[in-house]
Amino acid sequence: MHRTDLIAIGDLARRTGVAVSAIRFYEAKGLVAALRTRGGQRRFLRADIRRVSFILIAQQLGLSLEEIAGELARLPAGRTPNAADWARISGGLQARIAAQIAALERTQELLGQCIGCGCLSLKRCALYNREDKAAQRGAGPRYLMGDRAGEIAEVG
Amino acid sequence: MHRTDLIAIGDLARRTGVAVSAIRFYEAKGLVAALRTRGGQRRFLRADIRRVSFILIAQQLGLSLEEIAGELARLPAGRTPNAADWARISGGLQARIAAQIAALERTQELLGQCIGCGCLSLKRCALYNREDKAAQRGAGPRYLMGDRAGEIAEVG
DNA sequence: ATGAAAGCTCAAGTGAGGTTTAGATCAAGC
DNA sequence: GCTTGATCTAAACCTCACTTGAGCTTTCAT
Is residue B50 within 8 A of residue A155, CB to CB? The reply is yes
Instruction: Report the residue from A53, A56, A122 with minimal CB separation from B53.
Output: A122
Quote the CA–CA distance of B23 and B36 in Å, as a whole number: 15
Across chain B, where does the E strand assignment appear?
6-8, 35-36, 42-45
| CATH ID of A3-111, from 1.10.1660.10, 3.50.50.60, 1.10.3720.10, 2.60.40.1180 | 1.10.1660.10
Looking at residues A29-48, what average pLDDT do you find?
A: 95
pLDDT value, residue B1: 46
Instruction: Assess B88–A contact: CB distance below 8 Å, yes or no.
Output: no
**Residue A81 C-alpha, separation from nearest chain B C-alpha, in angstroms:** 8
DSSP state of A7: E
- The answer, as to whether pTM is greater than 0.75, is yes
Instruction: Confirm whether any atom of chain C, the nucleic acid strand, is less than 7 Å from CB of B137.
Output: no
Which amino acid, B136?
Q
pLDDT at A148 over 50: no
Domain boundaries, chain B: 3-111, 114-156
Contacts of A59 in chain B (CB under 8 A): 138, 142
pLDDT tens per residue across span A95-121: 888 888 888 888 888 888 776 565 656
Contact (CB<8Å) A90/B59: no
CA of A39 to C1' of C29 (A): 19
Report, as an integer, the average pLDDT of B77-86: 73
